[in-house]
Structures are given as structure tokens and as C-alpha cells.
């Protein structure tokens, strides 16, 4: 991105360290990439509010289907509801738009599931 960040605010670092990163390295990588895009100057401006809005209690169902649903909803929120295109959730998932839409239908994912934050 040809940007240099020289510092991360202490409060931001504390939040990043405390977050469970359910999407593991990929989620962290995507979050840092978005933070770099949002940052101007030498200080990282991370959208830490996004972390708290995705910190919903997960279902008691530990199934692969539930994990897939939660992952897709999280990526849809991160992409601000964009499904296709360069910054869309489908590209981040590595699938075609139509494949993502089919999965969303099969998993019962609706616009209300991933656009809740817009109403706030």
C-alpha cells in the first residue's frame, strides 16, 4: 500500500490483543488491511468499533454449517454488504458471486443479518 505506520495507539493495541480473532490470521490480515486504508499519516487508525459489533454470542451449535454462516456474515459486514466486485465478500471468500448468493440462501442469511450496523 506504500504507506508507513509508525505507531499504533495503546488503546487500539489493547483491543487488538484482547480480541479472540475467530477468523484467525485471515481475519486479522483483513482487519489490518482495512485499517491501513483508513489511516492517514503515521498513526494506525483501526476501526475497532467493528470488532465489538461482531462480538455477538455465537450459537451453541458448533457445526461446520454454523461456523460457515458466521464467517460469511462477518465478511459481509466487513465489506459493508458488498457481495461482488474487488472489495466484495465473494472475492474475499474466493468464490463466485453466484456461489456466495447460493450459500447465503441455503444458510438463511438475509440482508438484516449483516446490515444491522447500518441502522445504528
DSSP string, 38-74: H--SSB----THHHHHT-PPPPS---HHHHHHHHHHH
Confidence of residue 61 (pLDDT cuts 50, 70, 90): low
Do 120 and 76 share a structural domain?
yes
Residue 77 lies in domain:
57-120
Boundary residue ending a domain (55, 76, 101): 55
Boundary residue ending a domain (38, 55, 72): 55
Q: What is the pLDDT of residue 116?
A: 64
Q: Are 51 and 28 in contact (CB under 8 A)?
A: no
Confidence of residue 119 (pLDDT cuts 50, 70, 90): very low
Q: Quick one: cell of 71?
A: 464467517
Do 12 and 38 share a structural domain?
yes
Rounded-to-integer distance, Cα 14 and Cα 98, Å: 39
Q: What is the pLDDT of residue 99?
A: 92
Do 42 and 31 share a structural domain?
yes
pLDDT at 108 over 80: yes
Do 62 and 51 share a structural domain?
no
pLDDT at 74 over 80: yes
Report the SS3 class of residue 102: helix
Do 48 and 30 share a structural domain?
yes
Do 72 and 116 share a structural domain?
yes
Do 112 and 68 share a structural domain?
yes
* Full-model pTM: 0.49
Q: What is the pLDDT of residue 37?
A: 84
pLDDT at 53 over 60: no
- Find the mean pLDDT for residues 65-89: 89
Q: How many domains does the chain have?
A: 2
- More confident position, 4 or 58: 4
pLDDT at 38 over 50: yes
Amino acid at each position: 500500500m506504500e504507506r508507513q505506520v509508525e505507531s499504533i495507539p495503546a488503546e487500539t493495541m489493547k483491543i487488538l490483543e484482547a480480541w479472540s480473532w475467530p477468523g484467525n490470521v485471515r481475519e486479522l490480515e483483513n482487519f489490518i488491511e482495512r485499517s491501513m486504508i483508513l489511516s492517514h499519516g503515521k498513526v494506525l487508525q483501526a476501526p475497532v468499533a467493528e470488532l465489538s459489533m461482531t462480538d455477538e454470542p455465537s450459537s451453541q451449535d458448533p457445526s461446520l454449517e454454523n461456523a460457515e454462516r458466521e464467517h460469511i456474515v462477518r465478511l459481509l459486514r466487513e465489506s459493508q454488504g458488498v457481495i461482488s466486485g474487488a472489495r466484495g465478500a465473494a472475492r474475499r471468500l474466493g468464490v463466485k458471486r453466484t456461489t456466495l448468493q447460493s450459500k447465503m440462501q441455503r444458510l438463511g442469511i438475509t440482508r438484516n443479518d449483516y446490515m444491522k450496523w447500518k441502522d445504528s
